[in-house]
Every structure is written in C-alpha cells, then in structure tokens.
C-alpha cells in the first residue's frame, strides 16, 4: 500500500468495510473519516476496535452526534507525517467527494498517494461498466483528483456467495479497461476465498453490518 490510500465509490459499495479491513492489517496507521454526507456506515463507528488495535481514528468534530455539521478540523499533511500509513474513507458519490477536494492540492503533490475506486456490481446505479465509470469521473471532478486503481468489491453482505464473486470478474475487467486503471484488489469474505478459484484475492471480514445486526 501507499502511505496515503484514499477510498471512494458509490454509496453502499463497501468503502468503509474495505477501509477497516486495510487498517487492521497495518501498523502505525491512521484512518481518516472524511464522510460528512452519510451518518450511517462510517469509519467513526469503529473507534473502539481501532483503539484496541492501536489504530488512530481521525473524524469530523461532530461525527456520531445528533448535529449535522460538516466540520473538518484537521490537517491531513500533518497526519501523514506522523503515521506510516493513512487511509482516507471518503463519502459516497460526487457529493461525498467534495470534502476530499479541500485536500486535493497537497494530495496531488505527493508521490505516495493512491486513490482507489470501489465498485460493487450488486449496488443500484453501478450495475454496468458504463454506470460505474461515469460515476468515477463525477467523483474525480468533485474531488479534483484522479483514481489510480479499481477495487472489485462486488457482494451483497452476508448473502454473498462464491458465484457472485466469480461472476463479477467480467464486470470488473470491463470497468478496468474503460477507466484505463488496474484492478488492485478483488475482495472476498475469508470463508469463501478457497471456493472461487480466483488468484490474488483480498480476504476480508464483514465489519460493517446493518443496524439491525449490530
């Protein structure tokens, strides 16, 4: 991984779950919750887990409160200087990516920054390559940054099967080709990886669960 990994994508594509999984694999890491749009399924929900694992959480001042105030009182450059790895979890779609634009100048100036576009064929409005790529460009316009790779995170939560992951490969390849970007990861629930026959999978745990399952 690069020192700073920015994660974007469609609402509900699995950005936050990917961010948590990447964070728990790293040492001396910080997770920046840059989602000021959606109050649900955000990395700020995992403060206790991060504290237990020695991961620093940086979140908007009013994250997980009843106040809807888009306040970002932190310096991303200083955070990057302090930690070996920084993961930035961006809000969904272009609306969420506007917050990222605040830091675009300093991020674009760095050589150790990657921006991953998370795709999930099972999410409404990104079920075709055309839809997924169109949204990617909207996110880039809003954030004033360019993606460096794609992450195929096609799943439907607890109901994910090996066939769903296998069948998503063509979709991911098509998105990759049209976007001109490599596929960095294909995620897979740990218990299903041996059943797909796909190489270079990223085994993940499902940390982000529906409210009724928490």
Residue-wise pLDDT for 68-119, tens only, equals 445 566 788 889 889 999 999 998 999 989 989 989 998 998 889 999 999 9
- Bridge partners for 134 per DSSP: none
Residue 4: name the closest of 97, 78, 64, 63 by CA.
78
**Domain boundaries along the sequence of the chain:** 4-213
CA distances, 121 to each of 6, 44, 59, 104, 132 (Å): 21, 26, 29, 28, 8
Q: Note the pLDDT of residue 72.
A: 64
| Among the listed residues 50, 55, 57, 59, the one whose alpha carbon sits nearest the alpha carbon of residue 27 | 55
DSSP state of 159: G
Neighbours of 148 (CB within 10 A): 16
pLDDT at 67 over 50: no
Q: State the distance between the two ends of the chain, measured CA to CA, in whole angstroms.
A: 30
Backbone angles phi, psi at 31, to 5 degrees: -110, 125
4-213: in CATH 3.30.360.10: no
Token output for 56: 């620093």
Q: Is 143 a residue whose pLDDT tops 50?
A: yes
Strands laid side by side in the 201-204 sheet:
56-58, 29-34, 85-90, 4-9, 113-119, 149-152, 183-189, 201-204
Band (pLDDT 50/70/90 cuts) for residue 212 is very low
Residue 182 three-state SS: coil
Residue 208: per-residue pLDDT: 78
Q: What is the mean pLDDT of the chain?
A: 88
């Amino acid at each position: 991984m690069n020192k700073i990994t920015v994660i974007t994508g469609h609402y509900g594509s699995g950005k936050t779950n990917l961010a948590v999984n990447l964070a728990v694999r790293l040492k001396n890491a910080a997770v920046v919750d840059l989602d000021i749009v959606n109050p649900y399924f955000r990395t700020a929900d995992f403060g206790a887990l991060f504290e237990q694992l020695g991961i620093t959480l940086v979140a908007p001042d009013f994250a997980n409160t009843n106040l809807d105030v888009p306040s970002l009182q932190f310096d991303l450059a200083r955070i990057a200087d302090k930690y070996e790895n920084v993961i930035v979890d961006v809000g969904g779609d272009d609306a969420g990516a506007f917050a990222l634009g605040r830091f675009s100048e300093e991020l674009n100036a760095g050589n150790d920054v990657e921006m991953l576009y998370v795709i999930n064929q099972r999410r409404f409005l990104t079920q075709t390559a055309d839809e997924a790529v169109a949204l990617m460009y909207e996110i880039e316009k809003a954030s004033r940054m360019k993606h460096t790779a794609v992450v195929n995170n096609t799943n439907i939560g607890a109901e994910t099967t090996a066939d769903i992951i296998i069948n998503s490969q063509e979709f991911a390849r098509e998105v990759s080709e049209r976007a001109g970007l490599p596929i960095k990861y294909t995620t897979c629930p740990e218990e299903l990886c041996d059943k797909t026959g796909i190489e270079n999978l990223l085994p993940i745990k499902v940390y982000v669960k529906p409210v009724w399952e928490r």
